[in-house]
Structure 1
Amino acid sequence: MYVDNANLCSEEGWAVFEAHRRFPPDARPPHITECSTPQELETYLKRAGFSEIQIRTEGLFVRVWGHKPQGNVQ
């Protein structure tokens, strides 16, 4: 599985969050960028049974990916 979101721990990612929070909840576009922390995404993958989890942060983005062993369905 591969996930990339705006990194809330970076200045660029925080700026995206600040810009998006100005939208009223009922006026937010459905395609709005998700903002996350590296720790949040790592936790999701771990709790979903993924292993070999890799995390990369660079500027605006946090990228996380991992492998789910065959037969590990949660």
Structure 2
Amino acid sequence: MVAAYGTDALRIAERLGEDLGHGLHEGELRWMMTHEWARTAEDVLWRRSKLGLAFSADDTAGLAARMSTLRDQAGELAAAG
């Protein structure tokens, strides 16, 4: 994680959250979505990492669903804020 995120790795590691498979954790996914502008599962799996080599089609669909849920939650927080 340090190789990928440098000094930000500690901030990500503090809130890893659920293991989404193949070493990808929710905290890292949130970071990619908010700080690296990852918008799709394919963006996370191929452009932000090389996890596409490990994720199956079902894994990728699950990741896309999780990303949709996280976007919805962020929208709800922004609306309530």
The TM-score bracket by the shorter chain reads under 0.3
Question: Normalising by structure 2, what TM-score?
Answer: 0.26
Question: Normalising by structure 1, what TM-score?
Answer: 0.28
**Structure with a larger share of its residues in strand:** 1
Which has the bigger relative contact order, CA under 8 A and spacing at least 6?
A: 1
